[in-house]
A and B are shown apart, each in its own frame.
Chain A
Amino acid sequence: MTAQRLTDYLETSAACWPDRVAVVESSGATLTYGELERQADALAAFLAGRGVKRGDRVGVVLPKSREAIASLFGIMKTGAVYVPVDCTGPVDRCREILSDCGVRALIVDARFCECIPDTADCRDVVVVGSATNHVALQASTPFEAAIATPGVPIEDPGSSSDLAYILYTSGSTGRPKGVMISHENAVSFVDWCSSVFEPTPDDRFSSHAPFHFDLSILDIYVAIKHGASVYLISEDLSKNPKELARFIAANRLTIWYSTPSILILLLQFGNLGQHDASSLRLVLFAGEVFPVKHLREVQRRWPSAVYYNLYGPTETNVCTFARIPDQIPDDREMPYPIGFACSHCRSLVLDADAREVEAGEEGLLYISGPSVFAGYWNRPLENAAAFSEREGVRWYNTGDLVRWSPNEGFMYAGRKDRMVKRRGYRIELGEIERALYTHSRLDEVAVAAVPDADAGVTIVAFVSSHGGRPLSIVELKTFCATRLPAYMIPDRFLFQERLPKTSTDKVDYQALRGQFSSVGAG
């Protein structure tokens, strides 16, 4: 049977394998397919009873947990759209996202209740864990009670073209923007994964990425589609390579998926030699360039697996891929390419005048196909810029520069705009600038990304302050931590009397990057 909606995968697997383990928490607690399906149905009926309906947005502010997986399916079963938000990020950013898409209800961990937006739209709150004394909790329902409450049948769960989830990424205007993904977008990607990775019910998938990061889509839905088990890696475990290496070996995971950064941390701090990870049959990585010296080393420690480089922005999910050779040659230094378009996608490389470029020339990568997103939530200008029509086909401009080679496929060549990747996360430098401009003692702010051989990029904030006096860097980082996720906090702050300008009186970023190189990156 071909699935129409992501919820079809769970329904089919729960019917085939009700007693198989679907979800395993880091703590060892599990949910079978039968239990997961029952919880998701009960939550859907509860939400429907409260009036949540097709097309409504429901926020999810939960750590990696069984309740979170049940919530994602429960929300989609009502016909609503889930909006996962980083529960470790700044409260203001969390509330901004939930308000932006006007969530109708929220499923929140008791520890993160300050994220509840005070908008009139959000009329129901389901709380996981013991609620504290938060005022807004007066109108809330404990998760356990919600799934024990007799609900109402779902009248209209919607169609395959309805939205399934909205993932927020850094926005160039300084505000996060919501990438709207429909069921058919996600299903086309999940089905492509099936054809290439051939999962079975015996597979044990890692789930390292948080739910607001699009890598989580493969972990959750490919595993559930095939009746496999998905091993949720908690926030604490994800930050501890020694324990994580032990976890991978002890649970005999078969499929690993993360950013290269995480694999590099495992390599450097995880004592990989002490753990038997021979159960791994697939290692998938995405989100950033993997320096070959580190990739080669990971492959030597984990030789049982086949390695794939997956490429794709949140807007398309994975759209090109490359299989890495089983033995990376010792003399290879150039990063591996992002490869060839997936079978469900079409690709096109155009120059600035929208002409197709020749092999070997640099151009912008455009993608079309059923996995390409519906648009950004409530952003007409950005939507107009994101797509172009060409011979009746809607193409998404990834903004990524690539070069085509007939042997290796696409090679990533950077970007022309101000978006950078750090540990797989997209960062619009303008969003950092916007946050710093709210600091009362800063006059001018410019943020630049400088290449770094190991970390990918170093983010440098050039600032000028009232009276030209340097501020405390500790104070500035603390200020940023209240407004930006940890991965967006600048690595370095450099104080300037005033920022250099171009002849048109714009900030001269090139001069700033030059200054940083000359003062030394150390």
Chain B
Amino acid sequence: MSQNVVDAALGTNEPGACEPMTDVKETLRQFILSTYLPGESPDNLRDETPLQTSGILDSLAVLQVAAYVEQQFGIDLGVYDTSAERFNRIADIAATIARKRALRSSGDAA
């Protein structure tokens, strides 16, 4: 698995398109399910399910999810944004995306 995983999943979506929070979570859920949990019922991957500490995402997978998030949502993630504490649940990742987008919009406005 490699960058190809990310490229394939990105498809034709417009980077940076502004979906509401629930859609962001659904997009993340679909990517994680199809890439790392094929065959799993979507009900078992909840917003609060640990991803790194549970063995669902290993260190390579975390990089792939981070690259996917950066390209799909048009944001930049720093070192601390992908730590096991801050990048461990779909809810946390979606919150990071929302925060980064808010910062970007306020930057644009200024």
Number of A-B contacts (CB under 8 A): 68
Q: Of B2, B49, B82, which one neighbours A268 at CB under 8 angstroms?
A: B2
Cβ-defined contact, B44 with A474, below 8 A? yes
Q: Which of B12-20, B50-58, B91-99, B100-108 contacts A (4 or more CB under 8 A)?
A: B50-58
Cβ-defined contact, B3 with A268, below 8 A? yes
Total count of chain B residues near the partner, CB < 8 A:
27
- Please measure, in the bound complex, the distance between the C-alpha atom of A242 and the C-alpha atom of B82, giving whole angstroms: 12
B22 within 8 A of A: no
Cβ-defined contact, A265 with B63, below 8 A? yes
Within 8 A of B (CB), among A219-269: 236, 239-243, 261, 264-265, 268-269
- Please measure, in the bound complex, the distance between the C-alpha atom of A470 and the C-alpha atom of B38, giving whole angstroms: 13
Cβ-defined contact, B79 with A489, below 8 A? no
Cβ-defined contact, B58 with A487, below 8 A? yes
What residues of A have a CB within 8 angstroms of the CB of B79 in the complex? 236, 240, 242-243
Within 8 A of A (CB), among B77-93: 79, 82-83
Chain A contact surface mostly: helix
What residues of A have a CB within 8 angstroms of the CB of B41 in the complex? 472
Cβ-defined contact, A472 with B59, below 8 A? no
Given contacts A236-B83, A265-B63, contact A481 B40 (CB under 8 A): no
Within 8 A of A (CB), among B1-55: 1-4, 36-41, 44-45, 49-50, 53-55
B67 within 8 A of A: yes
Residue of A nearest to B8 (CB): A522
Residue of A nearest to B56 (CB): A477
Residue of B nearest to A452 (CB): B1
B62 within 8 A of A: yes
Cβ-defined contact, B38 with A492, below 8 A? yes
Q: A429-445 CB contact bits vs B (8 Å, 1 = yes)?
A: 00000000000000000
What residues of B have a CB within 8 angstroms of the CB of A480 in the complex? 55
Interface centre among B1, B45, B60, by most chain A C-beta atoms within 10 angstroms, is B60
Cβ-defined contact, A486 with B59, below 8 A? yes
Interface centre among B36, B37, B50, B82, by most chain A C-beta atoms within 10 angstroms, is B37
Q: Of A241, A472, A487, which one neighbours B63 at CB under 8 angstroms?
A: A241
A478 within 8 A of B: yes
Cβ-defined contact, A475 with B44, below 8 A? yes
Cβ-defined contact, A481 with B55, below 8 A? yes
Residue of B nearest to A479 (CB): B55
What residues of B have a CB within 8 angstroms of the CB of A354 in the complex? none
What residues of A have a CB within 8 angstroms of the CB of B1 in the complex? 452, 454-455
What residues of A have a CB within 8 angstroms of the CB of B50 in the complex? 478
The minimal Cβ–Cβ distance linking B80 to chain A, given in whole angstroms, is 9
Cβ-defined contact, B56 with A474, below 8 A? yes
A494 within 8 A of B: yes
Cβ-defined contact, A489 with B49, below 8 A? no
Q: Footprint of B on A, CB under 8 Å?
A: 236, 239-243, 261, 264-265, 268-269, 423, 452, 454-455, 470, 472-475, 477-478, 480-481, 486-487, 489, 491-495, 522
The minimal Cβ–Cβ distance linking B13 to chain A, given in whole angstroms, is 19
What residues of A have a CB within 8 angstroms of the CB of B44 in the complex? 472-475
Residue of A nearest to B60 (CB): A265
Residue of B nearest to A473 (CB): B40
- Please measure, in the bound complex, the distance between the C-alpha atom of A293 and the C-alpha atom of B3, giving whole angstroms: 14
What residues of B have a CB within 8 angstroms of the CB of A486 in the complex? 55, 58-59
What residues of A have a CB within 8 angstroms of the CB of B49 in the complex? 474
The minimal Cβ–Cβ distance linking B50 to chain A, given in whole angstroms, is 8
- Please measure, in the bound complex, the distance between the C-alpha atom of A191 and the C-alpha atom of B45, giving whole angstroms: 52
Cβ-defined contact, B4 with A454, below 8 A? yes
The minimal Cβ–Cβ distance linking B62 to chain A, given in whole angstroms, is 7
What residues of B have a CB within 8 angstroms of the CB of A454 in the complex? 1-2, 4
List 15 additional contacts besides A478-B56, A481-B54, A492-B39; criterion CB under 8 Å.
Answer: A239-B63, A240-B82, A241-B63, A242-B79, A243-B79, A268-B63, A423-B60, A454-B2, A454-B4, A470-B39, A472-B41, A474-B45, A475-B44, A477-B54, A478-B50
Given contacts A239-B62, A487-B58, contact A474 B53 (CB under 8 A): no
The minimal Cβ–Cβ distance linking A269 to chain B, given in whole angstroms, is 5
The minimal Cβ–Cβ distance linking A375 to chain B, given in whole angstroms, is 32
The minimal Cβ–Cβ distance linking A111 to chain B, given in whole angstroms, is 13
Cβ-defined contact, B40 with A264, below 8 A? no
- 8 closest A-B pairs by beta carbon, nearest first, are A481-B55, A473-B40, A478-B54, A472-B44, A239-B59, A477-B55, A489-B55, A454-B2
Given contacts A240-B79, A265-B63, A268-B2, contact A472 B58 (CB under 8 A): no
What are 24 A-B interface contacts by the 8 Å CB criterion? A236-B79, A236-B83, A239-B62, A268-B2, A269-B3, A269-B67, A423-B60, A454-B2, A455-B2, A473-B37, A474-B45, A474-B49, A474-B54, A474-B56, A477-B37, A477-B54, A477-B56, A478-B54, A478-B56, A481-B55, A487-B58, A489-B55, A493-B39, A494-B39
